[in-house]
Amino acid sequence: MKNINIKELACELKLSVSTISKALHDSHEISEHTKRRVQETAARLNYVPNPYASSLRGRKSKNIGVVIPEVADSFFSLAINGIESVAKENGYHVLICLTHESFENEKTILKEFQGRRVDGVLLSVSRETSKSDHINELISNGVPVVFFDRVCDEVQTAKITTDDFESSYKATEHLIHQGCDKIAFLGISKTLSISNKRLEGYLKALKEYKIKADRKHILLCTDDTKQNYLLIKKLLQQVNSPNGIVASVEKLTTPVYKACVSMKLKIPEDIKVVCFSNLETASILSPSLTTITQPAFEMGRSAAKLLFKALQKTNFNLNEGSLVIPSALVVRGSTSKAKKGMPVFSKPVLQ
């Protein structure tokens, strides 16, 4: 059925446009009788308000922007689920914008958001992002921003993160306890908050256990899976080849496993692997993967909740809303000391 606008609806009901609008918003100015009449006729004639007219007048779009590096990643897709659940509760829509890990893309997107296409932004920065002017400008233009996972420390706003440092420390410590003494760390960025904190946690653990950190064991991966595979393979070919790997992001899982297969290294006998990952399939990998599982859904939810608080109360101070939600180390086969019924190739060196 053809859709009408408020003017036609007013005409049909022989009421003014303003009365219709008020009736549909349940205003106290309008009698119950009229409200019912309006609502019934609106439903009958298939009236759906034009959101742009409302947004223009009301200065709010009922959209929030979610700016993330990519969507084909368990962490981000679970976070989206969390965000969407809160958005829905608040009658909001979710605009997903992908930076594809490009700083330029991120700048372009945030610039556009200054036009008020969205009322607020949930942001997980690209791995190229090291400056934050574009974010501060958005905020200074009145669009609240809440970071989640990948933050810019110098921006004064709420940040929902997980305990990157501690969990990376735990992951590394776990590898050490399992007998690794040459542990590699796979990062994805020199500037990215999470990558650095995870690196620091790793280094702290090495230091604590008196293991000398080796520059050659710290690998900076790229955005390309194929290339990462080659880089990891090269890592495994070097003279002092590692017997443990901490992979700081999920997308490195497949290249790590494949590189090991190609190098005929058995996990966990020859090399043990732990990965920051939310892959549902971690438990059915060959071998099952020990992971640092991030609270992706909760992080999305918390970030969105905070954003909506800021949108509701004008004087809400986002600086005080930051939250750290702990990740969990889930120990599985890829770091076990010896696989049942299988020969042990690597000797535990510590413990």
**Stretch of 52-60, 85-93, 250-258, 313-321 lying at the interface with DNA (CB under 7 A):** 52-60
Contact 279, 291 (CB under 8 A): yes
DSSP assignment string, 271-283: -EEEEE---GGGG
Could you say which of 222, 281, 317, 319 contacts a second copy (CB under 8 A)?
281
CA separation (Å) from 252 to 221, 229, 243, 245, 344? 8, 8, 17, 11, 25
**Total residues at the site for a second copy (CB under 8 A)?**
54
Contact 290, 296 (CB under 8 A): no
> Binding to DNA by residue 34, rule CB under 7 A?
yes
> Binding to a second copy by residue 210, rule CB under 8 A?
no
Bridge partner list, 147? 123, 159
Look up residue 180 and give its two tokens: 């690794």
Could you say which of 11, 29, 44, 131 contacts DNA (CB under 7 A)?
29
Q: Is 216 helix (H, G, I), strand (E, B) or coil?
A: helix
> Binding to DNA by residue 61, rule CB under 7 A?
no
Determine the Cα–Cα distance for residues 111 and 103; give it in Å rounded to an integer.
Answer: 12
**Total residues at the site for DNA (CB under 7 A)?**
29
Q: Is 173 helix (H, G, I), strand (E, B) or coil?
A: helix
Please report where in the chains the tokens 């100015």 appear, as a residue: 29
CA separation (Å) from 189 to 77, 177, 185, 249, 292? 21, 27, 12, 11, 19
In whole angstroms, how close is the CB of 39 to DNA at the nearest point?
13
Could you say which of 7, 25, 27, 115 contacts a second copy (CB under 8 A)?
115
Determine the Cα–Cα distance for residues 115 and 111; give it in Å rounded to an integer.
Answer: 8
> Binding to DNA by residue 54, rule CB under 7 A?
yes
> Binding to DNA by residue 11, rule CB under 7 A?
no
> Binding to DNA by residue 2, rule CB under 7 A?
no
Q: Which of residues 134-173 bind a second copy (CB under 8 A)?
A: 137, 140-141
Phi then psi dihedrals of residue 132, to 5 deg = -135, 15
What per-residue string of b and e applies to 144-167 under the rule 16 or more CB within 10 Å gives b? Answer: bbbbbbbbbeebebbbbbbbbbbb
In whole angstroms, how close is the CB of 58 to DNA at the nearest point?
5
Q: Which does 94 bind (CB under 5 to 8 A by kind): a second copy, DNA, none?
A: a second copy
**Stretch of 13-21, 102-110, 244-252, 321-329 lying at the interface with DNA (CB under 7 A):** 13-21
> Binding to a second copy by residue 106, rule CB under 8 A?
no
> Binding to DNA by residue 33, rule CB under 7 A?
yes
Could you say which of 111, 190, 207, 226 contacts a second copy (CB under 8 A)?
111
> Binding to DNA by residue 114, rule CB under 7 A?
no
Binding site for DNA (CB under 7 A): 5-7, 14-19, 21-22, 24-25, 28-31, 33-34, 47-50, 53-54, 56-59
Binding site for a second copy (CB under 8 A): 1-3, 46, 48-53, 55-56, 61, 63, 70-74, 77-78, 80-81, 84, 93-98, 111-112, 114-117, 137, 140-141, 225, 253-254, 257-258, 261, 279-281, 283-288
